[in-house]
Every structure is written in structure tokens, then in C-alpha cells.
Amino acid sequence: MDELNSKKAARATADLVAREANVSRVAVSRAFNPNASLKPEKRDRILQVARELNYTPDMAARSLVTRRSHLVGMIVPDVCSPWESQEIDALTTALQAEGFATLLFKAKADFSMDQTLLTYMRGFNPDSVIAFTENIAPDVLTGFLDRAVPIYVIYDDATEFSGKPASSIYDRLLVRQREGIEQAVALLQGYGARRVAYLGGKQQSLANNERERMITEILAERGMEPPIVVAGDYTYDTAYRATLDLFRVGDGADAIFAANDVGAFGAIDALRHDLGLSVPGDVKVVGFDDIPQAHWKSYNLTTVRIDLEDRVRALVRLILRRLKTPDADPMVETLGTRLVVRGTVG
């Protein structure tokens, strides 16, 4: 009884398993390393004993010598939108299947990235880092994280992050927004929209700026007026108020292109429940992302879809390839967008 308890209480170690199975410490180590050479029956016996003793190799000790933590750091904004939550979710599932665990870190709400956080995170030695904030330059990140190579999301023709070339290596996820936005604008135009408003996201957001630029460009190409730009921050409440202002203080619009779905929801609710306008009758609305809520009947939102599964797969590919060949040249994965037509344009 005491014997049993002390065995269970103490964290089972490789030496304990080795002693119990009458093998050496190293054999135990090999038993848990699939590509190490060990006589099959011996491995089976060791794994059996390990199971009985409730033993698992200690990742901390292992990472100390292998220089692989099997940890992927994710830096996310203080409070996440559904889109980000969903992506963290899917990424974690995908990475777990590859043997990596997600280590979550919260950045400040204003997307600022202080050195404190980076220093703190580095202590955990993540094998890779995905940052959901955009205003940190590659050079800064690479300077802090030694082993990890950052991945950046870039858009359409912008081949360099923020336009400035970086001296350090980083991998890229290129999102081709043009196709989706073009389809959306064409649909709006086809249904007679003439005054299109762009309801923006966070000012500092690269995605936001690129979306605005692209919409402006495409409207011009199709001979339409430039968009009425309305400031937002990706949140429902701000979008709601901004839409009220647009129609009460400003001259309104007959179509609203929102920088994200949540913003589109805010616009729709302001139009319907406060301004007494109908969607799509009086005003057409298009969103961006295609989060699950977009198909909820109250909104039934027409939106530009970035396929989450594709996106996650691309990111995981980048991570795994970089880990396999740490000194490889910068890698790029490309992602398309397309319009999902539902009920807010027509």
C-alpha cells in the first residue's frame, strides 16, 4: 500500500520504468522514439510497463537536449473577435495532430507589442510563432526569437511587409483579395449600387488598409465613384454608431462594404433597427471573412470568404516546412478569396 502510493505519488521517471522493466534508461528513451532502433518485443514490454507506471517523457527535459519544445506560440489581441477565436481554434486542432501544443499569449488591446511580452514568450522557447497583430516588424521579431522564423500575412500586390524591405528572413501567407472583392463590387454594381461606403477596420491593420486600397482601385476600374470611407475598428458597436453617423450626419450610401463580418452585422442592425431602412432593399451590405454567424438567418450576409481550412492548412505547411529546413529560403503560400452570395445584396 505504501509501496503503491509512493510509486504513484512520485512522478514516474525513465529510470523507474527502466528498473521495473529490467532494461537501461536509454532503452526507455528509445521506446518512445519511433525511429530509434530497438527490438520490437522489448519496446512493447517497456511501453507496457510505462503505461502501468503512468509514465510520460518529460517535454521540458526533452526539449532541453533536442532543442525542440513542440510548442507553437500564438500572440493574439487582448480580446478576440469571432474570426480570431475560430482561427486559433482550427490552428490548435491542426497543430495538435502534428504533435505541437499551442501556447497562448495576449497582446495589448491596441495591438502594441511590448518587449516585455516577447521576452516573456521567448522563455518558453516556442518552435514557431504566429502573431495576430500586425504592427511589429519582422526584424524586431527575428531579433527576439532565435530559433523561430516569423510568418506574415501579406495581401495581393504588396510583396513586402509594410512596403519596407526587411533584412531578416520571414515566411509569407499571401492572400489574394482581389478576386473576392471584384466579385462583390460587380454584384453591387449589377444591382444598381452607385454610392458605395467602405466601413473600415482598425486603422493600424494592414488587412484593413489593403482592403480599402483594393476596393478603391476596383471601383475606379469599373467606372464608379471612389468609396465613402467610414472609420471603424472591426467591432459591432463602432460599426453600429458609424453607420448611424453616415446616414444622420453624412449623406448615406446605397451600399456598405464592411472590412469584416462583425462590422457588417453592426451596420445591418443600425440600418434596420434604428434608421428604419431595409437591407438589401434600401441599402446593400457586404462583409468580409464569412464567419459562422454570417449564415444566421437574422443576417444572412453576403460576404467575401477566406476559407479557414485552407488558411490553416497553409499556415501549418509553412510551420512544418520551416522546422524541417530551418535555413530554407523564404517561403510563400497563396490563398484565394471568393464571394459567398446570400441575402444582403439584391
Partner DNA sequence: TTGTATGCGTTATCAC
Partner DNA sequence: GTGATAACGCATACAA
> Which residues bind to DNA, rule: CB under 7 A?
11, 13-15, 23-30, 32-33, 36-39, 42, 55-58, 61-62, 64-66
Q: Is 70 left (phi over 0), alpha (psi -120 to 50) or beta?
A: left
Q: Are 53 and 18 in contact (CB under 8 A)?
A: no
Q: Say whether residue 164 binds a second copy (CB under 8 A).
A: no
Q: Say whether residue 48 binds a second copy (CB under 8 A).
A: no
Q: Give backbone dihedrals phi and psi of 176, rounded to 5 degrees, phi first.
A: -90, 95
Shortest spacing between CB 80 and a second copy, in angstroms? 5
Shorter beta-carbon distance to DNA: residue 23 or 76: 23
Shorter beta-carbon distance to a second copy: residue 117 or 335: 117
CA distance 329 to 272: 51
Shortest spacing between CB 26 and DNA, in angstroms? 4
From the list a second copy, DNA, none, pick the one residue 147 interacts with, judged by a Cβ distance below 5 to 8 Å according to partner type: a second copy
Q: Say whether residue 104 binds a second copy (CB under 8 A).
A: yes
Q: Are 317 and 332 in contact (CB under 8 A)?
A: no
From the list DNA, a second copy, none, pick the one residue 29 interacts with, judged by a Cβ distance below 5 to 8 Å according to partner type: DNA
Shortest spacing between CB 326 and DNA, in angstroms? 15
Q: Quick one: which of 259, 264, 304 has its CA closest to 284?
A: 264
Shorter beta-carbon distance to DNA: residue 8 or 248: 8
Q: Quick one: which of 178, 31, 205 has its CA closest to 110?
A: 205
Shorter beta-carbon distance to a second copy: residue 13 or 135: 13
CA distance 166 to 244: 42
Of residues 289 through 318, those in contact with a second copy by CB under 8 A are 292-293, 296-299
From the list DNA, a second copy, none, pick the one residue 297 interacts with, judged by a Cβ distance below 5 to 8 Å according to partner type: a second copy
From the list a second copy, DNA, none, pick the one residue 15 interacts with, judged by a Cβ distance below 5 to 8 Å according to partner type: DNA
Q: Say whether residue 56 binds a second copy (CB under 8 A).
A: yes
Amino acid (one-letter) located at 189: Q
Window contacting a second copy (CB under 8 A); options: 33-41, 54-62, 180-188, 189-197? 54-62
**What is the binding site for a second copy (CB under 8 A)?**
8-11, 54, 56-61, 63-64, 69, 71, 78-80, 82, 85-86, 88-89, 92-93, 96, 101-106, 119-125, 143-144, 146-147, 236, 240, 265-266, 268-270, 272-274, 292-293, 296-299
